[in-house]
Structure 1
Amino acid sequence: MTSADGGETYDTLVQELVAELAALRIRAGNPSLRDIQKRAEKLFAGEGVSLAPSTVSGLLNGGYPSRERLLWLVRTLMSWDRTGEECQPPGNGAPELDPWHNRWEAITHARPARQRQGSGPKPAVAEVAASATKPSPAPVVAVQQRGNERAVDHFQHVQRPGQPAGKRPRLRRAVVYVHDIGATREHYEMTFNRVYSRLSEKLPGIDVRGCFWGQESDPRYGMHRGRLTGFGSGRTIDEDEAAWRVTRDDPRYELRLLGLRPLPSAGPGRRKKRPQKLLAELSRYAASPQVRTVFQEHGLGDSLDTAVQTVFNSSDLRAAVSTTDEDGDEHRRAFARAVVATALAAADPQGINVSSRNGRDALLSSLFADLLERKDTEGSGSGVADIFRRQRGDSLSALMTRPVGDMLRYQARGHPLRRLIRQTIETTSGDVVTVIAFGFGSVACVDLMVQEQISRVDQLITVSTPAPYLYDIGALTSLEPSQPLPDHFPHRWLNLYDRRDLLAFSASQVFPNCVTDHAVDNGQPFPETHTAYWSNPDVWSTITTWMN
């Protein structure tokens, strides 16, 4: 039944419009709000188009549209075909726009008189309330604080006619879980089922979705083909190329990652002797004639000695060798790659550029082989023969663990993963979304939310995140160390970490006034503590209390 002022009919028509716009957006390939803004500016530059992400979010979530903005949005969405390719949008008077004119006119006719005339109560401003209960049809504007800055979430809807002033509509909340690196399908499903059951138990009725980005996920996203499976396993050529892309801009990146590892298990005396022994070996290193010949053939003869000295004198090398294992071959290879990358960077201003994969591999292989020949192999057998047996064949030797390889691949090709996370969020039900991101999955989420405005995400929960460390050393893809988080970043961020977890970092020290840190005790040593969060009751009580 329609109310006296037409309120119920208006609500119904608005919800129908929201559904039609959502279907049109999905047909266009589900573009992000930022993509819609850029596309509209490109298409309709002469029409004075203004489709900011906040405006688009309001239209897609039930805000009352002006005719021109509604048609701009519709025409923009129609400028992508079903495959996501760009196409020519309909003109202003095109007949396919007639249904949208009709929808707007019906909504405007049904719009309650108090809203049309500007009388009655003004639109309410309230905080977004997390809820797993029965949804209210429309969200409201959310005002929150970040430091001294005032930020408004873009769920812009007017107050319902007849709704008591100050009453907060409760919003449907959904959760998206993003896992850590190195997860197989079986491990992901086991962890997701635990996350799902705990949240469903504490927040009945909440919608929980998972974002699986492992080797068995949709191949369109290009992640985890030929996944690394541990030390000594094969690495595909694509993965080796990814490693070169990262070290080209950051020559000592692999050394820093090795420095993050836990110290190897051994008695105190032996643990101390390994780094000393490797450092002494590297300090005595002088390139052989064979290595010099290879470097000279590629125009790098003058850069070799300086590059060796630069890498050897770096603090990154000191930190890396402290985690060396029994034979140290992985660390030698990282040292060799850092030297090659440093030499390439030094020669680049002179116009010397070794861009071919074969050229880079020849430089690395010659230097690495030389290092292996020099190492003290007493009691370790024929280390050189063993290493190169693994290196030959259809794939290159990994000489690094799965996490290191996955981190390098994300740093080089992170966009497909971020796109997958965004699409999972955008296809999740609920008015507002909480993202729970674990381990390195949290790095991808932070990068995504820095680079794009994901309006429905108002809460971010990171568990065992290395993102603060990467930001602090300048290795976070989306943000320079001197840059603050953008204002569109979720204004509620909870970060959980166990002090025994060497892969987890406090975030409030580098992102002051933006995040709430909470230390938990998983009751396990490292590395077991890294995977013990989901069985810790304190983790779940903290998460659910904070969400509410």
Structure 2
Amino acid sequence: MRFIFVHGTGVRRKRYDQLSALITTALAKRFPDASFVPCYWGGTHGATLGAGGRSIPGVDGTRAADGGPVAGPPDQEAAEWLLLLTDPLCELRVLAELPEDEDDGLGMPGVRSAGEMVAGLLTALSAELPSAGPPAAEPLTAELPPSDELFVLLRATGLDTHFGPALAEVAGSAEFGEACAAALDIPASREVATAASRAVVAAALAAAGEDALCTGDERDRLVDLIAGRLGGTGRVPGGRAAAVLGALALRMTTQPVLDLWRGPITRKNVPKLGDILRYQARGGPLRDHLAELITAGTDPAGPAGPAEPTVVIGHSLGGIALVDLYALAAMEQSPLPKPELLVTVGSQAPFLHELGALTGLPPTATALPPGFPRWLNIYDRKDLLAFRAEPVFADDPRVVDHEVSSRQPFPVSHNAYWKLDAVYDRIAEEIEASR
């Protein structure tokens, strides 16, 4: 018995040697007389950055769109808006919780506080919304009266259908009500007006998602226009909510980190993502390499097959390549020796076939071709890169799924298979059953 282990995406020499030693030791306990054929492909067929990563913005010292250095200080504005998109009411929540100023008499019965006036203006704004109707055939421009600038801009940014619900969400929130109640003077009410305006725009942007067509300048203008109708100003530098949330946004949101570390992050993930993309575009050389390795054990006396039974084991992308290889060989009736057993572990091959993206099978195929080997597919449901094969090829007795559990979350679960006795025991059971 000989075993061939085909590693997955992102694996390079040091990691392959670790995995190979682990798998070889575990299988040798169950098959003492077995031989193990190394199959490291990451060096020759793995992805690399051919131009040294010069396609990544900022890695060569180029300037940002605003003329500033790409690797400069983190963008607090972008971080704050990312936090607002996640939680549009966060600034209002901060203002509602801040200590109240001393009562200056505006809290007397029958006297509306400055914050209550903001609440009334926000409610009145909803009455100004234009009636809903089909989008205009032509883009709306400055021909409309200046008083309609807010609604023109909402239509231009794709936020018109989301503005009303966003306005209602903010106006009806406990956070807005409490912030208004806490704003007893004019400066505090202006802060609430600004925070409410940002909350409305953020809620509309979050609801629109990818349908929004809105630049930062347009976003800021929308805030200005709404805040102006609430008796405030669109942007209040140094506001109390900004002081509390500014540093928090830089720590909690990902955009500043991505901006600052885009080059290193992209380079680090090239082996993982790049191997997949390279295989999908140019997988032939890797499959040829696997075919040569498998055929090397063929008995030269005839085409009957390998001199000893062969078990091929593929992890992740390695399993995809093996399924492709044997499916193509079966359909083309090539002389590739059929193994005793094909094992895929944490494989995406069944999912790719459902998508019509598996090279070895036509998208409409509902069964594996004659001549395809027996297939044991091992998966852990906590591994988000592992998929079941039996339901995809329900009428094919050659396909068997087996579930294991490492009790680890993703992504740790994707590599934890090789420490599980259940994986090797199931492979041994399937080999014994085939005899």
**TM-score normalized by the length of structure 2:** 0.48
> Highest relative contact order (Cα 8 Å, sep 6+), 1 or 2?
2
**TM-score normalized by the length of structure 1:** 0.39
Higher gyration radius (CA): 2
